[in-house]
Amino acid sequence: SIMKPVVAAAAIELRVISPTDVLDCEGGRFSFAGHVIRDVHAYGRLTLADVVVRSSNIGMTKVGIRLGSERLYNSLKNFGFGAGCRLRLPGETAGILRRHDEWAAIDVATHAFGQGVAVTPLQMLRAVAAIANGGRLPGLRLVEQESPPPPVTVLSASTAAAVREMMYRVVEDP
């Protein structure tokens, strides 16, 4: 579920959806690509913001469909997934993010809600930090004396602010 704000941010940034756009979450069951996507609760219509707050797999599947495999893949790459953090640590891994042209149709759904992709804790922390930092994906370093690589802008400040609000609501909303 932690991938949902990242994908929501990418979709807002690419203008395929806005935080107030409404998605039909199908009462908790949605057939897609020969599979049934389920939500824990039977949600009906939710705004994108509420999809993130309520952690709707169905809502995020519909966001993934709007993005399409290529834009979803490129967005995940822009956030640093599928690439090592270049810290030269023993055992450092790039995680698993297959190229979009290798995806099955269901992968658009599963990647949109955080399954089918394997990421390291540092990659996820860095992606969420980009949302917290006004859209700037931070460079990484091992020790304070090293100069970190400069941050890379992956989102506009307004998109980052909108998704930060969604993330606040996750813990504040009753």
Q: Compute the distance between CA of residue 38 and CA of residue 58 in angstroms, rounded to an integer.
A: 7
- CA of residue 164 relative to chain centroid, distance: 13
Taking only Cα atoms into account, the Rg of the chain, rounded to an integer number of angstroms, comes to 16
Contact 79, 133 (CB under 8 A): no
Q: Mark whether 55 is an active-site residue.
A: no
DSSP classification of residue 96:
B
Alpha helices in 1-56 (DSSP H): 3-13, 48-54
Hey, which residues are catalytic here?
A: 1
